[in-house]
Structure 1
Amino acid sequence: MRRLAAVLLLIPLAGLAVGAADYAQLPGGNFRTALKYEDRKGATRIAPFALMRKPVTNAEFLAFVRSQPQWRRDRVARVFAEPRYLSHWTSADALGAKALPQQPVVQVSWFAAQAYCEAQDARLPSWDEWEYAAAADETRRDARRDPAWRERILRWYSHPSNQALARTGLQAPNAYGVQDLHGLVWEWTEDFSSLLVAGDNRNQGDADNAKFCGAGALSMDDRDNYAVLMRVAMLSSLNAEDTTANMGFRCAKDLK
């Protein structure tokens, strides 16, 4: 991740806050991830943080692109976004029928998502923060042991990925006031590339081993939490310039 962060320093940012996103404040605390790490035993201490209540929408990302035109699809450097970047928009600065204003923005790379968050004096959430927020249902901060709740989440994965996306905010807020963590889009995290790592990659002098900062998750600690495993596998299959038709994002902020 240090390599990705260094590349981002080359991108000029206007320092403008884009939109007025609504953030929920999460208290943090001790949290046991469903992933098993080599260098982490027991629960992890998560500091209080703020998280966008809903994913970033097409309308919000369009405002960002217009304020920082280096992120238009016809101007962005290919090292930061592959050719499919925002390809469903009618033009470089217009949405169209396939990208309605209140739908979550997709076909956006990790670099672009991180740049958007930085323009709001924010950042992408870490995996721990995202998993912590996503463990809550409408009334409980941690519903992961409830089979009915897990089954409800898994039903999303049975839907064809070519279905039209719903608008953001249709789901009921969870116990923290955050919406759409499940059932709408996949979401980028700040440390997406360090979630899974094969042992041979780390033992054979891989020139790209910087992306495996921290001990990667070698196996699931909670094998019943299949939805988490699917998300980790999805994120770990991507490079930072990649885009997909169902990958969106939301931003997070540290709380002092």
Structure 2
Amino acid sequence: MIEIPGGEVVVGDEGKERTVHVDAFFIDEHEVTNAEYGEVVATHEYREGAAGHPVTHVTFHEAQAYCEKRKARLPTGDEWEKAARGTDGRLYPWGNTLARRKPHPFYSGVVKKTAGSNRKDVSPYGVRDMAGSVWEWTDAGDGDQRETRGGLWNLHLDFEYSKTLDRNRLPADSRFLFLGFRCARSAN
């Protein structure tokens, strides 16, 4: 896990930004992988060669239970956004400029590659794959509707739809090929 220092962060949609304080916390460097998930959930199966790929087809409650077994939790929406945007409110983990090259489908949620292997998708804190790979569950939302964060390149194959401020709401029991998660833990 990577430690994210406490402090102010710009969060929210373009034109509707707000500054909030986030306490120090830790967050996984990359999404939870099939192998990591399988160490905790013995019934988890995945195809040969996919041990290092982000785990997917996991509901909000399953992701939450996995994190709890690791003595962690899902990140809040503000924590996820701070880990992705840094303190300067950047649009993408690497800055405010749209990447010149389209994302390679190997980093999408359908054609998976080892978690954390995209050398360009790195936040100011060193957190990887926050603008691509798979959507990620967060602890934000209410009731049956939960918030996901992160880019989903297999849907758009364009960085424009992978901004650090993008969010989606899904039913908590959703299972998709392009939906995974990472864990967080309070620093105190």
**TM-score, length-scaled by structure 1:** 0.57
1:12-46: CA deviation from partner (whole Å, max 9, x where unpaired): xxxxxxxxxxx10001211121238xxx9941111
Q: CA RMSD in A?
A: 3.5
Deviation (angstroms), 1:158: 8.7
Q: What's the CA shift for 1:115?
A: 0.3
Paired letter, 1:183: G
Within 5 Å, which residues of 2 pair with 1:173-192?
A: 173-191=122-140
Pair 171,229 (structure 1): closer, same or farther in 2 beyond 3 Å: closer
2:178 corresponds to 1:246 = yes
Question: Displacement of 1:162 after TM fit?
Answer: 6.9
Instruction: State the Cα distance separating 1:125 from its structure 2 match.
Output: 0.3
Whether 1:31 and 2:13 are equivalent positions in the alignment is no
Letter in 1 for 2:114: R
Partner residue of 2:45 out of 51, 74, 94 = 94
Rate the CA distance shift 1:142–1:33 in 2: closer, same or farther, 3 A.
closer
User: 1:231 Cα shift?
Assistant: 3.8
Q: Is the 8 A contact 1:27 1:47 kept in 2?
A: yes
Query: What code does the residue aligned with 1:62 have?
Result: G
User: Over residues 112-148 of structure 1, what are the superposed CA-to-partner deviations in whole Å (9 max), with x where a residue is unaligned?
Assistant: 1000000011000011111111114xxx864339997
Question: What SS does structure 1 have at the residue aligned with 2:112?
Answer: coil
- Could you tell me whether the CA contact under 8 Å between 1:153 and 1:183 is conserved in 2? no
Which is richer in strand? 2
Distance in 1 separating the partners of 2:114 and 2:6: 28
Corresponding residue number in structure 2 for 1:85: none
Whether 2:28 is the aligned partner of 1:52: answer yes
Q: Give 1:109's aligned residue.
A: 59
Contact 1:24 1:53 in 2 (8 A): yes
Aligned to 2:73: 123
Alpha-carbon deviations, 1:59-83, whole Å to 9, x = none? 01111111xxxxx4xxxxxxxxxxx
Cα distance in 2, alignment partners of residues 160 and 166 from structure 1: 6
Alignment of 1:1-256 (within 5 A): 23-35=1-13, 42-66=18-42, 72=43, 93-97=44-48, 100-136=50-86, 142-144=89-91, 149-152=96-99, 155-156=102-103, 163-172=110-119, 173-191=122-140, 193-194=141-142, 210=143, 227-228=162-163, 231-232=166-167, 235-236=168-169, 238-256=170-188
Q: Conserved in 1, the CA contact under 8 Å of 2:32 and 2:180?
A: yes
Using a 3 Å threshold, how does the CA distance of structure 1 residues 245 and 226 change in structure 2: closer, same or farther?
closer
Paired letter, 1:94 = E
Q: Give distance in 2, aligned partners of 1:147 and 1:64.
A: 32
Q: Which structure is higher in helix share?
A: 1
Give % identity: 28
Change (3 A) 1:154 1:126: farther
Question: How far off is 1:157 after superposition?
Answer: 9.8
User: CA separation of 1:148/1:181 partners in 2, compared to 1, >3 Å: closer, same or farther?
Assistant: closer
In 2, the alpha carbon distance for the partners of 1:165 and 1:157 equals: 10
TM-score by length of 2: 0.75
